Amino acid sequence: MLSTNVTFPSSRTSCRLSMIDAKCDLVSITKILLQPEQKGHEYLNLPTYSWLIVNDRTGEHVLFDLGMRKDWPNSTPMIVNIVESVLSGINVSDDVPSILKANNIDLSKITTAILSHWHFDHVGDLSLFPTSTKAVFGHTFKQNFGTYYPENPDSPFHAYEFQGREVIELQPSNFTTEIAGFPAHDFFSDGSLYLLQSPGHTAEHITALVRTTAGPNESDNTFVLLGGDSCHFPGVLRPTPMNKLPQTFTSSSNFTPPPSISLPCPCTLFTSSHPRAKDVDEARMTPFYEPSKAEGTYYLDHAEALHTISKLQVFDAHPNVFVTITHDPTLGEILPKLESGQTINDWKEKKYKEKCMWNWLKELPRDGKPGMPHYVDDLYRDGVKVRGFDES
């Protein structure tokens, strides 16, 4: 069993953290993201979130990930081809810059956009931000994407997005600290935000560890881990021997069951469809899925992805760390969004971690049928249906 003993660097500075619903709802074929595939879960619901991080000491505003551009058909040909050939459903009804402005946040305040990786549902349209907004990527970004469309017809980025903009590629030498096995970069140089090398999904993938409360004692310090696409479904992270599935869900379990199920309910309602465990005991401490190795998988390196996930699982079991991933369906149901005016810094007092821990179970298939409806039934452009779900 992995130990949950993690030593965090000390700091008296924290960051205010707000979740942005990027208004990007996707439905993907499951087998390119998760394995094993099972009947009733052939498609995966993928909402998308971005994060506003404000340093309490300096007031500096940065974003972690940008969601998807609303006018995605104006993406480069490479991206349009991926969207139309891979996604079964897509509806992007807004974009992060517009959401920020609607909440009275001037885009000139955003000093940096930290991009977990290069994929279209994380990088938005950088040209909508002033050129004073720097773009930060992980190691190897420039090596792989240093030239842009149209000079490079296969690039995922337009050249105009980077014109006059500082693009920073973090080097291995920037990661001078280690936290729970992750090479870590102290972004603000005050211990309030660490960027972690988290390869697997892509080579340059990075995650962010945000200090949400700070104090002199270890117990005073809490963190939110912004996991990006380290995995695409919470059932890849959980359960584990450190984070066992409860035997029974009761009214005090912070669990909201599907409409057809009432509390109390035994975990066997969900473990009966566990595709990787031979019995209930094993199912209560074995993740339901792992990253896909299928043809067309969106994981560059399966072994690296598993290694990253194993370290996230240590964070996930730590009482003072709340682990999130970009496409977790439960986040939008439970966490306050930017427009509420609330941060999630009080996540421990509000029990957000407990409320998100197992609510994804309702996405699992039951009796070979989808646990929840698909978020998007078709492919939409500008709110207009252009392709039926069955045509994907």
Considering the entire predicted model, what is its pTM?
A: 0.95
Residue 7 is assigned to a structural domain of this protein: no
Q: Does residue 198 carry a pLDDT above 60? A: yes
The whole-number pLDDT of residue 391 equals 47
For the stretch 101-134, pLDDT in tens is: 999 999 999 999 999 999 999 999 999 999 999 9
Per-state percent for the chain, helix, strand, coil, to nearest 5? 25, 25, 50
219 in Cβ contact with 264 (< 8 Å):
no
Residue 207 is assigned to a structural domain of this protein: yes
**Residue range of the domain that includes 95:** 15-372
Backbone dihedral angles phi then psi of residue 149, each to the nearest 5 degrees: -70, 135
Q: Per the structure, how many domains does the chain have? A: 1
Residue 148 is assigned to a structural domain of this protein: yes
Percentage of residues in the chain having pLDDT higher than 70: 95
CATH number at residue 350: 3.60.15.10
Q: Does residue 80 carry a pLDDT above 60? A: yes
Compute the average pLDDT of residues 315-336: 97
233 in Cβ contact with 289 (< 8 Å):
yes
Residue 364 is assigned to a structural domain of this protein: yes
Residue 358 is assigned to a structural domain of this protein: yes
Backbone dihedral angles phi then psi of residue 158, each to the nearest 5 degrees: -80, 145
Q: Across all residues in the chain, what is the average pLDDT? A: 93
* Strand 134-137 to 87-92 pairing: unpaired
Please count the CA atoms within 13 angstroms of the CA of 356 that sit on its side-chain side: 27
The whole-number pLDDT of residue 67 equals 98
The pair of three-digit structure tokens given for residue 347, joined into one six-digit string: 């996540």
Exposed (0-12), middle (13-18) or buried (19+): which is 7, by Cβ within 10 Å? exposed
Exposed (0-12), middle (13-18) or buried (19+): which is 265, by Cβ within 10 Å? middle
Q: Does residue 1 carry a pLDDT above 50? A: no
The whole-number pLDDT of residue 367 equals 87
The Cα–Cα gap between 366 and 285 comes to: 20
86 in Cβ contact with 387 (< 8 Å):
no
The DSSP annotation for 150-214 comes to TTSTT-SSBGGGTTT--EEE--GGG--EEETTEEEEETTSSSSEEEEE--SSSTT-EEEEEEEE-
Residue 381 is assigned to a structural domain of this protein: no
Following CA atoms 317, 308, 89, 377 in sequence, which dihedral angle do they give, to the nearest 10 degrees? -20
Residue 221 is assigned to a structural domain of this protein: yes
> 244: helix, coil or strand?
coil
The Cα–Cα gap between 318 and 161 comes to: 39
The pair of three-digit structure tokens given for residue 48, joined into one six-digit string: 């998308």
Helix/strand number for the chain, H first, E second: 9, 21
Residue 379 is assigned to a structural domain of this protein: no
The whole-number pLDDT of residue 2 equals 42
Compute the average pLDDT of residues 6-30: 95
